[in-house]
Chain A
Amino acid sequence: MHQVTLAFSILFCLFNWSGLGVALGQDDKPADPPAEVEAEGKAIAKIFDDPAQEVGAAQEPVKKAAETSPADKAIEIRAEEDAAKEKTAKEKAEEVKAEEDRVAREKAVVEEEAGGEAVAVDAVVMAGQVVDVVMAAEVDLFAANENEPLVVVLTGYVNTECGLARRACELTPEQLAALKKLDVRWVKEQIAKPEKVGQVRIMQGLGRFLGGARLENPAQNHNQTHQRVCKLVDEVIQKTLSSEQYELFESERAARDAFHRDATASALVAVYDKHVFVKREQRQELIEDVAKWVKSKNLYWQFYFQNDAYIPTVPNAVLARTLSDKQLKTLQGLNSYSYEMDEVQMQMNGMRQVVEFTDE
């Protein structure tokens, strides 16, 4: 990679050097100021000489400019103008920020007043307007992806885990404050800061031909980022809680996981039941076996109830412990498919209805 960069740098220098050579070749004397700079300097001097043209705030810099050479005067004037422009940009940025706050306040009021899906859509539209303004002023790039699916999914994870910690344990104000720091902005910052994962990707094609071979820590995909940020959230919660509190929190998490596994397995067995007519005595045993196997914590289970020709991807060995050969035979030829709810959220690009939970 460095070699590629070096090659481009050399080419770039050669290109610029040739231009420089042409300029040097013209004359060894210092170059005269360009005609427009000279004209500007004269104009400034004229203003200084003519009291009728002295105007308020412009007077002082103009006076200074008149004491030096026309070119210097012009440079100083430019610097003043730049400062003024910068000031205007700051003012603009402040205006944008104020506008952003106003829209956020309006959004909160509207959400509070009506609630529900329609409001969420209105809020998205509003947020879109804010994003346009912010992007134009290049003030806060993080605000650009407020409704990005990954941000929504991860913010949901933060709110749920912190919410569970708050309910499972009695937290001190300091602990509450520490958890409060894990807000949308924090989530966006973590997404933007990929951790070193020790991966190496070998460069292919033209890049390799030009000398690039290794690309260390390549950009993470959504799934990796999701896992990384979830892990960070867990670490922050663990650091914030005392060991007794964390034990309580973990026991609640374990109970939740057990419930989720049992619920998912029950739903999957109900799907199989439609195809294989599960007997009374088979059902509970099958639920227990499938629950041990279920790895997904967020399976798109509705899919199987909406698409009859599809069954979950439970290995035959798991099913064979309970189902008869006849029952297994009827499953042959049906398509098996597993789909994660988070994938749906990502692919639908935020179209999926998500109720946001917050303790604030």
Chain B
Amino acid sequence: MNSRSSKQRVLPALCAIARSLLPIMVVLASAGQVAAQFGARQDIIAIYLFNGQDEATFRRQLEARCALRVSQIGEVAQLDEATLEKLSLAIRGDLNRFYRCISIVRENTKGFDIQDQGDMQKAWQEIMPLQQRISKGLLEEDSLFNKVLDSSLSEIQSEAYQQYLSDRQDAKTQAIVKVTIAELDRTIPMLAKQRSALLESLLAKKFPSQIPQGYDAYLGYIMLTKVEKAELQKIFDKPQIAAIEKMQAQYAAYGNAVTW
């Protein structure tokens, strides 16, 4: 029974990893094919980090995205020109720091052959931290931009900005919960009133304060594990509850990965 319960904990995690790796494997495989067509000495960083584009295009996109962010903050928090200029400089600093890291990785992966599995694995070890930084957001947490922003905004401006961020987060959370219910509805048939009741019940619960990278997509199921049986009995019939309970068992371990 112990081994079975440990299987119950481990298998969802393994399946989740396999699910998230499948598209990446498809992408890497296709990247490898594309790269093979252009010769063995093609830029490994372009394959893994720039989505197959050249560095100049990648930089242009990154800079456009950062500029858009500054302009949105300017609108939300009603910032003056001087503050906007300061933020732009801070972004330039963050970007330059990132570009320096790319140069170091480029140096470390010099001469690697993209048709050599060993070389590609070594290269991925070097590039992975940069990939994670991009996924996390170059302008988040310990960035120069964030520090300058914190010190530049007045209390009212800061409130307006925090409200904007909170609205964004709420919209994302609600979307994930809704789409999770829609997905659940494909397996467990629900009437419209049952769907609404479940949505209301999930959104009324306390959400995690921090969700690790990659766990966003499971937020709806994590919240589902927080619905008590008594609550389920008010909304659903027996066969529906039996299926939902199986689902709760599958995702029980995911709740341990987030901070409540």
**Which residues of A are in contact with B by a Cβ distance under 8 Å?**
114-119, 121-122, 156, 159-161, 163-164, 166-168, 252, 255-256, 259-260, 262-264, 266-267, 269-270, 273, 275-280, 283, 297-298, 301-303, 305-310, 326-327, 329-330, 332-335, 337, 339, 341, 344, 347-348, 351-359
Contact = CB atoms under 8 A, between A and B. Distances in A.
Interface stretch (B8-16, B80-88, B111-119, B226-234): B8-16
Given A156-B186, A355-B188, 9 more contacts: A116-B8, A159-B189, A259-B185, A259-B195, A263-B175, A326-B64, A357-B189, A357-B240, A357-B243
Given A330-B61, A357-B239, A116 B246 contact: yes
B72 A252 contact: no
A267 B190 CA distance: 20
Contacts of B246: 115-116, 355
B19 A344 contact: yes
B19 A305 contact: no
B210 interface: no
B41 interface: no
Nearest to A300: B23
A166 B237 CA distance: 12
* Interchain residue pairs A-B with the least CB separation, the first 10: A163-B189, A118-B7, A266-B175, A302-B217, A263-B178, A164-B189, A263-B182, A255-B192, A277-B72, A305-B217
Interface of B: 1, 4-5, 7-8, 11-12, 15, 18-20, 22-24, 27, 51, 53, 57-58, 61, 64-65, 67-69, 71-72, 75, 134-135, 164, 167-168, 171-172, 174-176, 178-179, 181-183, 185-192, 195, 214, 216-218, 237, 239-240, 243, 245-247, 249-250
Contact of B192 (A122, A256, A306): A256
B210 to A, nearest CB: 16
B172 A273 contact: yes
A117 B61 contact: no
Contacts of B245: 115
B178 A273 contact: no
Contacts of A353: 11-12, 15, 250
B130 to A, nearest CB: 13
B5 A118 contact: yes
B134 A308 contact: yes
B247 A306 contact: no
A270 B175 CA distance: 7
Contacts of A351: 15, 18
B250 A116 contact: yes
B204 to A, nearest CB: 18
B65 A333 contact: no
A114 B171 contact: no
Contact of B72 (A156, A256, A279): A279
A176 to B, nearest CB: 13
Contacts of A337: 23
Contact of A332 (B24, B61, B187): B61
A267 B175 contact: yes
B12 A117 contact: yes
Given A259-B182, A267-B176, A352-B15, A306 B217 contact: yes
B176 A270 contact: yes
Given A167-B191, A277-B72, A308-B135, A270 B172 contact: yes
A275 B65 contact: yes
